[in-house]
């Protein structure tokens, strides 16, 4: 054996007297459509929970990616941003972007990572966006079994889109923490969703101008409590 060889003790460490640590919370952030602001919401939520962010499938690499945007807006360190599993060049539905890149997405390979902090997972587009010609993202969410926050617009069309999305989630037995509205105030839509949704309307994140880490944190903490998403004592 050379002098530089290290021999590791492979005996299991004793856990006698230790309290097993519960796994950190895992929350999926998805939306009723694309472009509704779920990346901004995910950044605010990751900051609120002092969590870890993961965008498993990124379609479109020009400019700032969603992971880069969350890193900037959350103000968290780079180690809180997990690497994407698939980074696709074309800004399109993942199934089409993958085909144009000559890449085959394997939905079964998407497994939830273990983290020491709450894990915030952002989907791509809406709930039923195809990952392949045969698989939808919502089917991966169902396999994961992690609770979902459904982001929805406040504007015209949101009633239909939100209720349809909730129906799709519930048909597959996916737990839903609630609906997060994003955009300008629309009192009747907010009131109607509150009355017709089978899950809570968690609050409304307003349109922010300018959108900065400071303005996002202030708006988020003014609207959403940590206890809406995880147990108050959970870290």
Angle between helices 187-196 and 158-171 (to 10 degrees): 20
- The tens digit of pLDDT for each residue in 147-163 reads 999 999 999 999 999 99
Q: What are the domain boundaries of the chain?
A: 26-226
Contact call for residues 59 and 229 (beta carbons, < 8 A): no
Tokens of 139: 């089917």
- The tens digit of pLDDT for each residue in 135-149 reads 999 999 999 999 999
Superfamily of domain 26-226: P-loop containing nucleotide triphosphate hydrolases (3.40.50.300)
Q: How many angstroms separate the CA atoms of 159 and 136, rounded?
A: 23
Q: How many angstroms separate the CA atoms of 95 and 190, rounded?
A: 33
Contact call for residues 230 and 49 (beta carbons, < 8 A): yes
Which one from 55, 95, 161, 204 is the annotated catalytic residue?
55
Active site residue 55: yes
- The tens digit of pLDDT for each residue in 32-47 reads 999 999 999 999 999 9
Q: How many angstroms separate the CA atoms of 107 and 231, rounded?
A: 30
């Amino acid at each position: 054996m050379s002098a530089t060889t290290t021999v590791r003790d492979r005996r299991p460490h004793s856990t006698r007297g230790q309290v097993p640590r519960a796994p950190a919370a895992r929350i999926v952030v998805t939306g009723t459509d694309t472009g509704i602001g779920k990346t901004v919401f995910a950044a605010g939520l990751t900051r609120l929970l002092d969590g870890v962010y993961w965008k498993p499938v990124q379609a479109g690499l020009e400019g700032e990616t969603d992971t880069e945007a969350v890193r900037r807006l959350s103000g968290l360190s780079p180690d809180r941003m997990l690497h994407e599993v698939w980074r696709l060049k074309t800004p399109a539905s993942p199934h089409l972007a993958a085909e144009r890149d000559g890449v085959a997405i394997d939905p079964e390979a998407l497994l939830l990572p273990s983290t020491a902090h709450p894990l915030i997972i952002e989907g791509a587009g809406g709930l039923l966006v195809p990952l392949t010609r045969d698989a939808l993202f919502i089917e991966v969410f169902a396999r994961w079994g992690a609770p979902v926050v459904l982001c929805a617009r406040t504007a015209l069309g949101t009633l239909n889109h939100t209720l349809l999305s909730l129906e799709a989630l519930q048909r597959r037995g996916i737990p839903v923490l609630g609906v997060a509205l994003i955009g300008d105030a629309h009192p009747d839509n907010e009131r109607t969703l509150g009355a017709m949704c089978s899950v809570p309307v968690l609050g409304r994140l307003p349109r922010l101008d300018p959108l900065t880490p400071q303005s996002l944190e202030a708006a988020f903490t003014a609207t959403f409590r940590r206890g809406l998403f995880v147990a108050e004592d959970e870290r």
